[in-house]
Structure 1
Amino acid sequence: MRRAIMISIAGNSEAAFDDSVLSHMERNVYRRKKNSSVLYSYESADELLFELRMRSRIIEESRALDQSGVTFAGFRDSRCNEDYWERDDLGGFRLISGKSPSEAISDIFTNGQFYTFECATAVTIILYKSILDMMGAEKFDSLFSNLILYDWHQHRNLRIKTERSRSEAVAADIVYFENPDFLPSAPWWRGENAIKLEGGLYYGHGAGIQTEDTIIGVLNRTRTPGSTTPAFLSDRLTRPDFAYLYKLQTDAGSRGGRGRRIVAKIGSIVYVS
């Protein structure tokens, strides 16, 4: 029996997407979604392409942050570059008034030696940088003013969705390694937020780019003595709201007269340039 195609474009589940325009990673994500038992719906081929391109940026910026020189610490010991950020009493970073959000986010990747933070903050930084890559500095600055970097704190234009469906995780999704019996003296090791890469690897700030078993091993070394409950990869799956971000980009692009892609349909094949 023919398997249903589980990607719908503009309400048409029979529409085929020309995946020759995709990178190897993007093509893998597209095919995983197409062959899933879950229906993924997109208003256009352009919206689907935006998600795949942004997933590429999330992977690239995860690797870039890992190489940037930033270090890991809990909120009490966090540090930031005071040229761009003001550290608050909770250990979060507030963008200094008058500073460019795009320059401040980029500074973390170029001057990482000035920054120390924990894993949830690292994930949001990667998402902001990936959005900046997709939209450009002008749009990013207009959409993401008054930034605060603290844990999972989200700017109103960064929408994140979380569900219990780890089986659907693909590259650039955010997963959570849980450590139920973490040492009370080291609460920052209660778990590890990590970005799924390719080849069975994950990026978790503090653990680095590692396999699932290695990250679990790192967490197990921070358990309460005598604990019989090891760390594990939970079912929690988090990803940005790609459809919302796509609308932000296209709205900004239409106002500025830029940012639109050409979409053509020949038969059942959708071509994007």
Structure 2
Amino acid sequence: MITISGVQRPIDTTSWSPAEIKIYEQKKNSTVTYDYETVQQLRFEMTLRAAIVAEAIALSQSGLRFADFDKAKCNEDMWTLTDLGGFLIRDDRSPAAGIRDIFANGDKYATECATAAVIAVYQGVLDSIRETDFNRLFAGLLLYDWHTNKNLRLSVHTDIEESYPGDLLYFNNPDFSPDTPVWRGENVIKIGDDLYYGHPFGIAPSQTIINGLNNNRRPGSSQTAYLTETVTQPGYVYLSQYASNRRSFISARIGLRYFISPV
């Protein structure tokens, strides 16, 4: 159920994108009450969630390669590759330009699943707030695992039944092989019902991701990988104060291909 300052009220969604409306209807039909101070805060969350989904799909098509931190790569015209395998924005480049370059020149980049998921979130935020605010909030941006900028305001709760498109989730591989520790788990973004973006799996259902992780267990292990209860999301209320003149996205699946278009 959705309430505004504690009161259920009709919400005009006629100008919303189909992706935003779908997420809104899912939360509205939940048995959990989601209370927003204003309609603007509600709308911003739906906008940002839809943008994160769209950018996760776009990142899966960008040519971004998979690598552990010791083999990470980036476009050094935009970023400095740190000793630990992170990407640190150059002083003469803006965070917005650096994030966009990953989507435009994905083949110049290689990283693991957590960093990839966070990249999609940053691009979703960039789509949803004013660029000047993005560059100010995320000055000195470092892309490295879960070492995110404090202004992203990531929060965590543990109720997978109350996860929605745009949420960051985690598949755990408890019996991963010590020879391939990079496969100890997979960070993903929820795209839809049993559909996730995980690097390097692309857009895939849960069983595909579980099978991939299970192929990297200790010899003889029968303990399967699984989707955990952990749900991570950016600070929607905090970021909503920087909302831009928004851009909506429609993402559609036709066979195994995905298409994204602004509306």
Flag whether TM exceeds 0.5 (same fold).
yes
Superposition map of 1:1-273 within 5 A: 6-12=1-7, 14-247=8-241, 249=242
Q: Cα deviations across residues 23-68 of structure 1 (Å, max 9, x unaligned)?
A: 2222221122112121111111111011101111111101110111
- The runs of at least 4 aligned residues of structure 1 exceeding 6 Å deviation read none
Q: State the shift of 1:198 in Å.
A: 2.2
| Cα separation, 2, equivalents of 1:175 and 1:199 | 13
Checking the alignment, whether the CA contact within 8 Å between 2:79 and 2:90 is kept in structure 1 is yes
Q: Structure 2: 5+ residue runs without aligned partners?
A: 247-263
CA-based RMSD of the aligned residues comes to 1.5
Q: State the shift of 1:200 in Å.
A: 2.6
Q: Which amino acid aligns with 1:213?
A: Q
Q: State the shift of 1:181 in Å.
A: 0.7
Partner SS, residue 16 of structure 1: coil
Identity %: 45
Q: Cα deviations across residues 62-116 of structure 1 (Å, max 9, x unaligned)?
A: 1110111110111111001101111111111111112111101100000111100
Partner SS, residue 228 of structure 2: strand
**Which residue in the other structure is 2:257 paired with?**
none
| Cα separation, 2, equivalents of 1:151 and 1:198 | 24
Q: Which range moved further: 16-25 or 234-243?
A: 16-25
Q: Cα deviations across residues 104-152 of structure 1 (Å, max 9, x unaligned)?
A: 1100000111100011101111111111111242221122100000001
Which structure has the bigger radius of gyration?
1
Q: Which amino acid aligns with 2:97?
A: E
| Cα separation, 1, equivalents of 2:79 and 2:143 | 9
Q: State the shift of 1:235 in Å.
A: 0.9
Q: State the shift of 1:202 in Å.
A: 0.7
Q: Which amino acid aligns with 1:11?
A: G
Q: Which amino acid aligns with 2:2?
A: I
| Cα separation, 1, equivalents of 2:171 and 2:104 | 28
Number of residues of Structure 1 aligned to a counterpart in Structure 2: 246
| Cα separation, 2, equivalents of 1:25 and 1:85 | 32
Checking the alignment, whether the CA contact within 8 Å between 1:25 and 1:198 is kept in structure 2 is no
Checking the alignment, whether the CA contact within 8 Å between 2:129 and 2:239 is kept in structure 1 is no
Partner SS, residue 59 of structure 1: helix
Partner SS, residue 22 of structure 1: coil
| TM-score, structure 2 normalization | 0.90
| Cα separation, 2, equivalents of 1:15 and 1:24 | 20
Q: State the shift of 1:199 in Å.
A: 4.5
Checking the alignment, whether the CA contact within 8 Å between 2:210 and 2:225 is kept in structure 1 is yes
| TM-score, structure 1 normalization | 0.86
Q: Cα deviations across residues 127-183 of structure 1 (Å, max 9, x unaligned)?
A: 111111112422211221000000011112111111110001111111111100111
| Cα separation, 2, equivalents of 1:117 and 1:107 | 15
